[in-house]
A and B are shown apart, each in its own frame.
Chain A
């Protein structure tokens, strides 16, 4: 089946630094990718929709200047958490929509971010 790879799986960074998370569709082209955030024992909250070749669409309350999203190709979207703070520590997960098969959205493995 389709595979979405997310990297890194775990990352620890210092407060004030930036960290980049990559989301790649390995065997299909994804014109649309989604970025979610999940706190422990809570649901996945959509942060933004990433469209290839255009600006991302952010959900209300999500700071676009803090969470930079780039979708430069049909197989890669990146999320950069800028000037990270401890409250940004969370599980970040991406998903990608196969442009050929519209009914299933494939998830990456997720990335655990800890800001110290």
Chain B
């Protein structure tokens, strides 16, 4: 199958840490990406993992476990501007890319 599962909504307060999980069931897996999308805007690339482990980019980190078909996006020191939808996306060997349904993050004061 080619399904991706991620929570539909997450709420947190400013300064907190939030983890958004993504599980996938797919063949031909090549890598896992994360994108941020604000309402009315285009998705913007956050991170990409092809190998197991943690990738850190500033306040955002992404983790992948290929054996568990699982990854997560970790957002630290949350800011109000981080309120957006976050999509995990699987890249396949044939360059195809499929998106999860998205997680809507709401950051409260």
Known contacts A49-B96, A105-B97; A43/B102 CB under 8 A: yes
Determine if A106 is an interface residue (Cβ-Cβ < 8 Å): yes
A contact residues around B45 at 8 Å (CB): 104-107
Are the C-beta atoms of B96 and A104 separated by less than 8 Å? Answer: no
Label chain A's interface by main secondary structure. strand
Are the C-beta atoms of B97 and A103 separated by less than 8 Å? Answer: no
- 1/0 per position for B1-41, CB-CB distance to A under 8 A? 00000000000000000000000000000010101000001
Are the C-beta atoms of A34 and B44 separated by less than 8 Å? Answer: no
Are the C-beta atoms of A110 and B42 separated by less than 8 Å? Answer: yes
B contact residues around A93 at 8 Å (CB): 42-43
Determine if B99 is an interface residue (Cβ-Cβ < 8 Å): yes
State in angstroms the CA–CA spacing of A49 and B33 once bound together: 18
State in angstroms the CA–CA spacing of A49 and B94 once bound together: 11
State in angstroms the CA–CA spacing of A45 and B102 once bound together: 11
> What count of chain A residues pass the 8 Å CB interface test?
22
B contact residues around A103 at 8 Å (CB): 31, 48, 50
Determine if B95 is an interface residue (Cβ-Cβ < 8 Å): yes
Are the C-beta atoms of A46 and B96 separated by less than 8 Å? Answer: yes
**CB-CB nearest in chain B for A94:** B42
B contact residues around A49 at 8 Å (CB): 95-96
State in angstroms the CA–CA spacing of A105 and B92 once bound together: 12
B contact residues around A107 at 8 Å (CB): 35, 42-45
Q: A93-B43, A95-B97, A107-B42 are in contact. List 20 more A-B contacts (CB 8 A).
A: A32-B95, A34-B97, A41-B104, A43-B87, A43-B99, A43-B101, A43-B102, A45-B99, A46-B96, A49-B95, A102-B95, A103-B50, A105-B33, A105-B91, A105-B97, A106-B45, A107-B45, A109-B42, A110-B41, A110-B42
Interface residues of A (CB under 8 A from B): 32, 34, 36, 41-46, 49, 93, 95, 97, 102-110
Interface residues of B (CB under 8 A from A): 31, 33, 35, 41-45, 48, 50, 87, 91, 95-102, 104
A-B residue pairs, 9 tightest by C-beta: A43-B101, A110-B42, A44-B99, A107-B42, A109-B42, A43-B102, A43-B99, A107-B43, A103-B48
